[in-house]
Amino acid sequence: MRNFVILCALLVAGCSQRPDFESFPKIDAHAHLETSDDSFVELLEANHFGLISLVTRSVGQALIEEEFNYASELHAAHPGSVAFATTFSMDGFGAPGWEERTIEWLGESFDRGAMGVKVWKDVGMTFLDTDSSYIMIDDERFDPIWDYIESRDKTLVTHVGEPVNCWLPLEKMTVRGDSSYFAENPQYHMYLHPEGPSHGTLMAARDHLLEKHPGLRVVGCHLGSLEYDVDEQAKRLEKYPNFSLDMAARICHFKVQDRDKVRDFIIRYQDRLLYGTDIAVRNSDQPGESMARMQEIMDGTYRDDWEYFTTGDTLVQDDMVVYYRGLDLPVEVLKKIYSENAKHSYRLPG
Ligand SMILES: [Zn+2]
């Protein structure tokens, strides 16, 4: 009888082959670490988690350097657990000296360990040219910068535009995360700013950049702002072999689409999708606060996402879709989206 029970247990384990959360190698390819308290790294290491911290600012070189220093110091102290991408300032864009200054700063950033360069959404949505048009990411004045990044074999990380929900009234948005964010940040809610660029205009500019620089590795943050439809993501992945997508803060949009279609999409593009969350750990006066914050993330977001990708269970979420089914992805696919693609896209060692 006892042997029978053990045999049943083995058969069940053999069928499900559910990988183990703690020991499975994982990278969160989209995080924001702005802290000098590195106590949380211990918890990352215990759970086989690495992070890529994206420096995200577009004005004020002093502010950029402050954020850069947090990331580069964490990387220097924990090179196996923390990698990072730098960014550059738009101050003086188009004026004499901007290009040279920017390239010099990026060179210094790479020499100090940055694996990529992040460009934030305010390029395309905030900065105005001298003729009052919006400065777009495919603007030719950026070309020497993208060429330089490519020449150093680094990665461009683009956050272009916003979710399509941003162009809808709050009550029409498909996920609660978006409606609460845009209720709190009306300055970014494009439905209220019809004078601003359309979602389509922003996507076209990003696509044009990909077309102009086929040798440049580009990671599109937040599913490339094409979160609403895996078919739209697939079109770009087919057309631009240099393009990959991180899932940061958009996994909830997978859940509101057809489950089997999303699963097929992830399996088909298993080499081009990076797990990421957009979590932030910031400086605090409280000792050990960063550890407490990371514990909260580990038990919350990271575990929830893991359940979604690794099980076929019916899960409950406090969002507009209350019940959804996990994707139960094959282990080989999980290995890629959880770490191998991030290593490849950012040329991480090891
Ligand atoms: Zn982010």
Predicted local distance difference test score (pLDDT) of residue 130: 92
Q: How far is the CA of 99 from the centre of ligand 1 (A)?
A: 25
- Closest residue by Cα to residue 327 from 268, 260, 273: 260
Predicted local distance difference test score (pLDDT) of residue 286: 83
Whether 4 has a pLDDT exceeding 60, the answer reads no
Whether 292 has a pLDDT exceeding 70, the answer reads yes
Q: For residue 100, tell me if it sits in a domain.
A: yes
Domain encompassing residue 287:
18-345
Q: How far is the CA of 222 from the centre of ligand 1 (A)?
A: 8
Mean pLDDT, the chain, rounded, equals 93
Q: How far is the CA of 220 from the centre of ligand 1 (A)?
A: 11
Q: How far is the CA of 323 from the centre of ligand 1 (A)?
A: 27
Please give the residue that has the higher pLDDT: either 10 or 235. Answer: 235
Q: How far is the CA of 170 from the centre of ligand 1 (A)?
A: 22
Q: For residue 28, tell me if it sits in a domain.
A: yes
Residues with Cβ within 8 Å of 143's Cβ and at least 6 positions away in sequence, in order, are 212, 213
Residue type, 22: E
Q: For residue 180, tell me if it sits in a domain.
A: yes
Please give the residue that has the higher pLDDT: either 58 or 217. Answer: 217
Residue 9 — very low, low, confident or very high, per pLDDT cuts 50/70/90? very low
Q: How far is the CA of 345 from the centre of ligand 1 (A)?
A: 17
Q: How far is the CA of 120 from the centre of ligand 1 (A)?
A: 9
Please give the residue that has the higher pLDDT: either 288 or 118. Answer: 118
Q: For residue 98, tell me if it sits in a domain.
A: yes
Q: How far is the CA of 31 from the centre of ligand 1 (A)?
A: 6
Q: What CATH number is attached to the domain comprising 249?
A: 3.20.20.140
Predicted local distance difference test score (pLDDT) of residue 287: 78
Q: How far is the CA of 32 from the centre of ligand 1 (A)?
A: 7
Whether 309 has a pLDDT exceeding 60, the answer reads yes
Q: How far is the CA of 30 from the centre of ligand 1 (A)?
A: 6
Structure confidence by residue, pLDDT tens digits, 168-209:
999 999 988 899 999 999 988 999 999 999 999 999 999 999
Residue 16 — very low, low, confident or very high, per pLDDT cuts 50/70/90? low
Q: For residue 4, tell me if it sits in a domain.
A: no
Q: For residue 231, tell me if it sits in a domain.
A: yes
Structure confidence by residue, pLDDT tens digits, 86-116:
999 999 999 999 999 999 999 999 999 999 9
Q: How far is the CA of 278 from the centre of ligand 1 (A)?
A: 5
Percent of the chain with pLDDT over 90: 85
Whether 285 has a pLDDT exceeding 70, the answer reads yes
Cα–Cα dist 174/165, whole Å: 7
HSE toward the beta carbon, residue 161, CA cutoff 13 A: 24
Cα–Cα dist 42/173, whole Å: 38
Q: How far is the CA of 231 from the centre of ligand 1 (A)?
A: 23
Residues with Cβ within 8 Å of 300's Cβ and at least 6 positions away in sequence, in order, are none
pTM: 0.93
Q: For residue 295, tell me if it sits in a domain.
A: yes
Q: For residue 302, tell me if it sits in a domain.
A: yes
Query: How many angstroms separate the first and last alpha carbons of the chain?
Result: 47
Q: How far is the CA of 55 from the centre of ligand 1 (A)?
A: 9
Helix pair angle (230-239, 259-268), 10° resolution = 20
Predicted local distance difference test score (pLDDT) of residue 18: 81
Domain count along the chain: 1
Average pLDDT over residues 288-304: 95
User: Tokens at residue 196, please?
Assistant: 């601003």
